Amino acid sequence: MPGLRPHSPGENDMKQAAEWLFRAHEARERFAPLPPDLVPRSIADAYLIQTEYVALRSAKLGQVTGYKIALTTAAMRAMVGLDHSIVGDMLDGTIRRGNSRVRAADYVHLIVEFEIAFEMAEDLPAIGAPYDRASVAKAVGAAMPALELADDRNADYDKLKDNALMLIADNAWNEGAVLGDPVRDWNGVDLAALKGVASINGKAVGEGYGRDVMRHPLDALAWVANNLAMRSVGLWRGDVVITGSLVTSKFPKAGDVVRFEAGALGAVELSVD
């Protein structure tokens, strides 16, 4: 794995790496690897840095009330040089409900993705893992369409393999989500067969099906719950999980209106100023 260090990192290394990341975001710097002495040497290290980095952001943006999954396809994982999907935290102040507006200028390079989201009605504690599709389904209170907001900070995608663990440390680039109206009777919806259509300014720009994400959106939810459990973290009632994009990432600009229509789950829209 690129960027290995000869010594085991300590808690102070994690905090310093998180502070470096936080300053880079505040200065709107281009996505770049951590300094050599702070580079994570394992996936576990990268998640520890993520936790510290998110804690710094929480002072302004609120507590963690949701999660995202990224790299849900083999092609995406191969592109960045990781063998597994990854999880990022979502802070309460970054989660919008209903059709919303954002300013392009508030991001270095805005990304929007098109996802199915779940809101938890029951807890999934770490002690209850491993979870599967059936067990997580019992804990879901609502499903809804969602637009993930992310910021790649003008990353050089050709070099991501050289800095793969940075994607985890940098919280999988998440900047929140826009959630559609919650559908409480979602059990009657065939989520695997559900067709999602993405459009920008009224023009279709992509489509996909629920099964395109890890075979079923609930499988992605179970994967998130199990990933968190391995880090002694649970999913709690009220948490929201976005389960991976049915459509390739889009990069809207000021003046664009982005819409995601998710069949029986309804639609959600984002205006970019």
Residue 98 phi/psi, 5-degree rounding, is 85, 170
Residues 6+ apart with CB under 8 A from 210: 116, 190, 191, 192, 193, 194, 196, 216, 217, 246
Q: Which residues pair with 258 in a beta bridge?
A: 200, 270
Selected from 3.90.850.10, 3.30.1390.20, 1.10.300.10, 3.30.300.130, the CATH number assigned to the domain covering 64-272 reads: 3.90.850.10
Could you tell me the two tokens for 5?
């260090």
- The amino acid present at 210, given as its one-letter code, is G
For 24, 147, 161, 164, 199, the CA distances from 33, given in Å and listed in that order, are 11, 27, 11, 9, 33
Cα-based angle 133, 149, 17 (whole degrees, multiple of 5): 90
Is 50 exceeded by the pLDDT of residue 174? yes
Q: Over the stretch 220-233, which tens digit does the pLDDT of each residue have?
A: 999 999 999 999 99
Is 60 exceeded by the pLDDT of residue 162? yes
Is 60 exceeded by the pLDDT of residue 3? no
Q: Are 246 and 147 in contact (CB under 8 A)?
A: no
Provide the 10 A C-beta neighbour count for residue 26.
Answer: 10
The whole-angstrom separation of Cα 263 and Cα 195 is 6
Q: Are 116 and 239 in contact (CB under 8 A)?
A: no
The whole-angstrom separation of Cα 188 and Cα 205 is 28
* pLDDT given for residue 9 in this prediction: 55
Average pLDDT score over residue span 153-174: 93
Say which DSSP state 250 is in. B
| Choice between 128 and 2, residue whose per-residue pLDDT is larger | 128
Q: How confident is the model at residue 13 (pLDDT cuts 50, 70, 90)?
A: confident
Q: Classify strands 86-91 and 257-261 as parallel, antiparallel or unpaired.
A: unpaired
Q: Over the stretch 75-109, which tens digit does the pLDDT of each residue have?
A: 778 888 888 899 999 999 999 999 999 999 999 99
Q: What is the dihedral of CA 181, 184, 186, 188, to 10 degrees?
A: -130
Q: Over the stretch 188-213, which tens digit does the pLDDT of each residue have?
A: 999 999 999 999 999 999 999 999 99
Q: How confident is the model at residue 17 (pLDDT cuts 50, 70, 90)?
A: very high
Q: Are 247 and 113 in contact (CB under 8 A)?
A: yes
* pLDDT given for residue 12 in this prediction: 81
